[in-house]
Amino acid sequence: MKNKSGFECCFCAKTIFENNFDPCNITIIGNSEINKPKDDRAELLFWSHLECLKEKLNPKTQGYLAVFDSNDDE
């Protein structure tokens, strides 16, 4: 959700200030099975801090976010 201060994190509800990877967007596609018609899908977009997203994922899934770690020092 975007408010007048900027993007609001869907997990912590705080404003997301722009940095390396923030704001992240998380897109949810409902009814996303491949064989179903695209018109039957529902799509919704959320914003979050990368760190808030990491906290919510299980350790194995967090590994997929390692792609974002390579540029943390920039």
Return residues touching Zn ion (CB under 5 A). Answer: 9, 11-12, 49, 52
The residue sitting closest to Zn ion, measured at its beta carbon, is: 9
Specify the residue, 2 or 41, whose C-beta has the smaller distance to Zn ion.
Answer: 2
Specify the residue, 11 or 68, whose C-beta has the smaller distance to Zn ion.
Answer: 11
**Backbone phi, then psi, for 40, in 5-degree steps?**
-85, -5
Specify the residue, 40 or 55, whose C-beta has the smaller distance to Zn ion.
Answer: 55
Beta bridge partners of 48: 24
Q: What is the DSSP string of 3-51?
A: ETTEEE-TTT-PEEPP-SSPSEEEEEEES--TTS-GGG-EEEEEEE-HH
Least Å distance, CB 14 to Zn ion, is 5
